[in-house]
Amino acid sequence: MHEFTYITAFTVGLMGGVHCVGMCGGIVGALSFASKNEKSGVGSPLLTLLLAYNAGRLFSYSIAGGLMGAVGWLVSVWTDIQLIQVLLQVLAGLFMLMMGLYISGWWMGLVKIEKMGAVLWKKIQPLAQTFLPVKNPLQAVALGLLWGWLPCGLVYSVLVWSVSAGSFQQGALLMLSFGLGTLPNLLAMGLFANQLKQFVQKQAVRSLAGGLVILFALWSLFLSVRGLGLLL
């Protein structure tokens, strides 16, 4: 893994933010509702809640990425390291390509993967609901930790990418980089919900964001396939 990979992950998160606004709009709305009670002394300022929630969410992303990176490391230990890593990079590039098509709205195949993750979410969701409405940063962190496991094709695609990282630390850093990329959109969603929602729903915006992710995917696939050809 190198610095460009982490920058790419950050950019993918930033471009994929148009999807995050739709997926996480509900929780951001709950945090906004809690902040309305600030004057009565019941709630905390909205920005504080948003930062606390996202800190929990990013921690969950990092743990998930680290676990996937560890899986990739175990696989590489048992087999040809270079060949397996390149094959995983090819797989990650394909998922990134699907992610770009998904963000743009041109192909919604990742919805099927989200439905698979819904099995786990059904077990977590009742616990997450106990923290609503959110009234303080501690509750927001706890909710973010749980919400980080929300079924999301965008997140799953980067998790597959994390397998190719080759270690727990690098997988965690890759997912953290991606999570930081999603942060601006979700913070803006909390502070300017209506304006941002209208903006990201425009097909031109979705097409531009998805198109950029597709370009990253094609470049990644080109490098991976070229590396695979050299190995074979």
> What is the reported pTM?
0.81
What's the pLDDT tens digit per position in 147-182? Answer: 888 878 778 888 888 888 878 999 999 999 999 998
Please say if the pLDDT value at position 106 is more than 50.
Answer: yes
Please say if the pLDDT value at position 81 is more than 60.
Answer: yes
What confidence tier does 40 reach under pLDDT thresholds 50, 70, 90? Answer: very low
Which of 77-86, 201-210, 219-228 bottoms out in mean pLDDT, i.e. has the lowest? 77-86
The conformation of residue 134, written as its DSSP 8-state character, comes to P
Q: How far is 212 from 36, CA to CA, in rounded Å?
A: 37
Q: How far is 156 from 96, CA to CA, in rounded Å?
A: 10
- The dihedral over CA atoms of 57, 192, 197, 53, expressed in degrees to the nearest 10, equals 10
Which of 12-21, 100-109, 193-202, 213-222 bottoms out in mean pLDDT, i.e. has the lowest? 193-202
* Cα 112 off chain centre by: 17
Mean pLDDT of the residues in the chain: 79
